[in-house]
Amino acid sequence: MTALSLAGCAQHTPKPFSSDSALNVAFSPEATGPIPIPEKLPCARRYQDEINRLRHLLAERDKLIQRLSARELDQAQALQNTASEVSRTKSQLHRLATQPEAASKIAEVEIELEMLQQTVLDEASIALQLLAQRLLDAASIAYRQMDYSLAMNYAAQAREFIGMITYLAGQTPEAQSITVILRTPMTLLTADSGELWAEPNDRAQATALLAKNTALTATAYHGSWLRVQTEDGRTGWIRNTMVDIRLIVPDFQS
């Protein structure tokens, strides 16, 4: 529209100026005053109309962006609520677990870990793999102690670590831009002192300094970051290499 308007103004060719005719008009007896000149040229009015139209479009676009942002926040909150409900339901099912269910879950995770050992992993993923193996060992001990709900819970947490490793190994850094809600929240400890970050990146603001062995609950991950909550209610993000597992199985050797 702007291009057409400007083109229209640019293609307007004024009539040839004749000095003789101008002099005749200027000194003609009939001339009673100066030649009237429009206050605003047509092209100037056309430019202003186009500017007003574009401003209106920008205002509508800003309103649309605000509505979409609000909708995304609502959807994210709904997803979080759904994930929390799913986690509570899974926890209830784990408490009602039977011996065959626990045995089946442990066997499934054992197979997934064996398949993972055939994959070339980086140092960070290998550390997560060791945590998954320790959780699986704890699940086996709980199973032998006939605590099938605890066995199911540890096996489910081990599977979460396996999912994180598979995700990191199969995705480029550019594709790791979404936050994945954990199906089973993980009970963890800080492996060393470290900072809690407001966002899952090193450029974010550090909100707290966590001491070693701080108890955490992980609820989601984003690339190589874990979203965690401390027992005193602080929430934020830490690197997944900064955590250790928290176990309550009797006679379990770390």
Per-residue model confidence (pLDDT) at position 23: 44
Q: Which long-range contacts (CB under 8 A, 24 or more apart) does 4-8 make?
A: 5/46, 5/47, 5/50, 6/47, 8/43, 8/46
CA-CA distance, 66 to 110, in Å (whole number)? 48
- The letter for the amino acid at 20 is D
Query: How confident is the model over 53-97, as pLDDT tens digits?
Result: 888 888 887 777 777 766 666 665 655 555 555 555 555 555 567
Residue found by looking up tokens 């100037």 in the block: 44
CA-CA distance, 254 to 245, in Å (whole number)? 9
Angle between helices 123-144 and 148-170 (to 10 degrees): 160
Q: Where are the domains of the chain?
A: 40-93, 97-170, 175-248
pTM of the model: 0.59
Per-residue model confidence (pLDDT) at position 26: 44
CATH domain 175-248 topology: SH3 type barrels. (2.30.30)
CATH domain 97-170 topology: Substrate Binding Domain Of Dnak; Chain:A; Domain 2 (1.20.1270)
Angle between helices 148-170 and 99-116 (to 10 degrees): 20
| Cβ contacts of 89 within 8 Å, gap of 6 or more | none
Residue 133's pLDDT band (cuts 50, 70, 90): very high
CA-CA distance, 239 to 245, in Å (whole number)? 14
CA-CA distance, 83 to 95, in Å (whole number)? 18
CA-CA distance, 206 to 199, in Å (whole number)? 9
